[in-house]
Amino acid sequence: MVENLDLKHRQVLKRKCDLISKLGEILASSGAETRLILSSMDLLAKALNLSVQSAVNRAGVFVSFDTPEGQVLSFRRIKTFGINMTIVTYCHQLCLKAERGEFKSLDEISEALNHLPHKHYPKIFLVPIEAIAAGCFAYLNQANLEVIASAILGALILMSIRFYLSQKGFFETFIFMVSAFVGSFCALLFAKAQGVGLEGQTLAILATSLVLVPGFPLINGFLDLFKGYIDTGITRLMQALVLVSSAAIGILGALLIANYYGV
Amino acid sequence: MSDLVIRILIESACAGFIGPAFAMLFGVPLTFLPLIAAAAALARAIRQILYLGGFLEIVSATFIAAAFISALFIYIAPKLQVPRPVFTVASIISLVPGMDAYNALLALNELINGSDQDLLISSIITLFHCGMRATAILLAMCLGIAIMPLFFYRYRFHHL
């Protein structure tokens, strides 16, 4: 009887530990900054009456705590560093609810973590919105109407290709390179077709490719660095740099082809 | 109204569109988009007033705009129970120095492929001037967002 109780107790502890590491993994995969991941894990642990030691790096999330029988350890690999702010918001609010004691059992928390709101805006809706945003970028750089139109058309193609390649599961760097190449080449063609001068063509390419700015890895990288999480900060900044470099390679490739064929 | 005021208003409206457009790309919930639009417009307006009004040069103006947005969401985000980066990143995206970065890229390309001596010297100057400007503005944006929370938050465990 005592052995059974011990076994049950150990299973509950192990399950709590798994739930905390799962929360960390979800937050890390959704683009949360390191401090938010660690503090959310601490918050959930506190709500579950545990005192855990947790860590996050590019490889995965570690959670451990000591029991009289030994150490319970849970590790979860972070497969991708994606960005989904709906999930980050949901998980943050879930932790706050847990802290307020709004969950009655582990099953409820587990259920909440298993049914995340994987909400994405429809691609058919996002493509024109991002294209208009590229037009706004062109206006912010003092472009005229022809250049704004070229930027919008270029960005329409760029975003369509980006989503298509993303759906096919290609590497993000490859997606950035190809979509920047095709998008800026098309923007250049549209600008030339409308008789826009060299400065206008430059503006059209620039505005088209600005929709590829990796804002979240860049800012999260700096947030991590300034809060003392140097390793994850550098990882995120390097990720941003690689994405910017990929887009730059695409743009330079488009310019090279345009010059070579005298477009 | 003077031309400057009209220009700042239109630029703010454009920034107010760019912010939510980027936020949607990163899956920010629909309910927060109006707030991001307002913050993005405000960030652009602050920078342009400080820069075009002749009060500050562009790097300092960008830093102040980003820091203001960061401080604003240090106040607002906890009330909405939402992590700050959900708002701040999309709100400052319209401050990205696209033109300078692109000019630096073109100058780098010219440096690699060019052969004319005068053009090479001009490319070196453009590369350093635009490259440094783009880097400085990007740093100002990131630092503006990252430094403000340090004034308000401390280590969770004081006894360590």
For the stretch B93-132, pLDDT in tens is 989 888 888 888 888 888 887 778 888 899 899 999 999 9
For A111-139, what is each residue's pLDDT tens digit? 888 888 877 888 899 999 999 999 999 99
Both A48 and A171 in one domain: the answer is no
Both A205 and A245 in one domain: the answer is yes
The amino acid occupying position A154 is G
Domain that holds residue A52: 2-114
Strand partners, A77: A60
List CB contacts of B36: < 8 A, sequence separation 6 or more.
Answer: B19, B20, B23, B28, B87, B90, B91
Q: State the Cα–Cα distance between residues A185 and A4, nearest whole angstrom.
A: 69
Count the alpha carbons within 13 Å of B141 in the hemisphere toward its beta carbon.
Answer: 25
Residue B89 in contact with partner chain A when CB distance is under 8 A: yes
B98 chain-A contacts, CB cut-off 8 A: 137, 141, 206-207, 210
> How many structural domains is chain A composed of?
2
Local structure of A64: helix, strand or coil: strand
Both A109 and A127 in one domain: the answer is no
> Does residue A88 contact residue A30 with C-beta atoms inside 8 Å?
yes
Both A69 and A198 in one domain: the answer is no
> Does residue A156 contact residue A131 with C-beta atoms inside 8 Å?
yes
Both A64 and A98 in one domain: the answer is yes
Both A128 and A256 in one domain: the answer is yes
For residue B86, give the nearest of A85, A215, A252 by CB distance: A85
Both A175 and A110 in one domain: the answer is no
Most confident of A3-12, A183-192, B108-117: A183-192
Both A136 and A72 in one domain: the answer is no
Q: State the Cα–Cα distance between residues A257 and B44, nearest whole angstrom.
A: 36
A214/chain B closest Cα distance in angstroms: 10
Both A171 and A212 in one domain: the answer is yes
Strand partners, A75: A62
Place B158 in a pLDDT band, splitting at 50, 70 and 90. Answer: very low
Domain boundary pick from A61, A87, A114:
A114
Q: Where are the beta strands (DSSP E) in chain A?
A: 53-56, 60-67, 70-77
Domain boundary pick from A90, A114, A138:
A114
Both A88 and A185 in one domain: the answer is no
Nearest chain B residue to A202, by CA: B102
Cα dihedral value B115, B118, B124, B125, nearest 10: -160
> Does residue B33 contact residue B77 with C-beta atoms inside 8 Å?
no
A131/chain B closest Cα distance in angstroms: 9
Domain boundary pick from A84, A114, A144:
A114
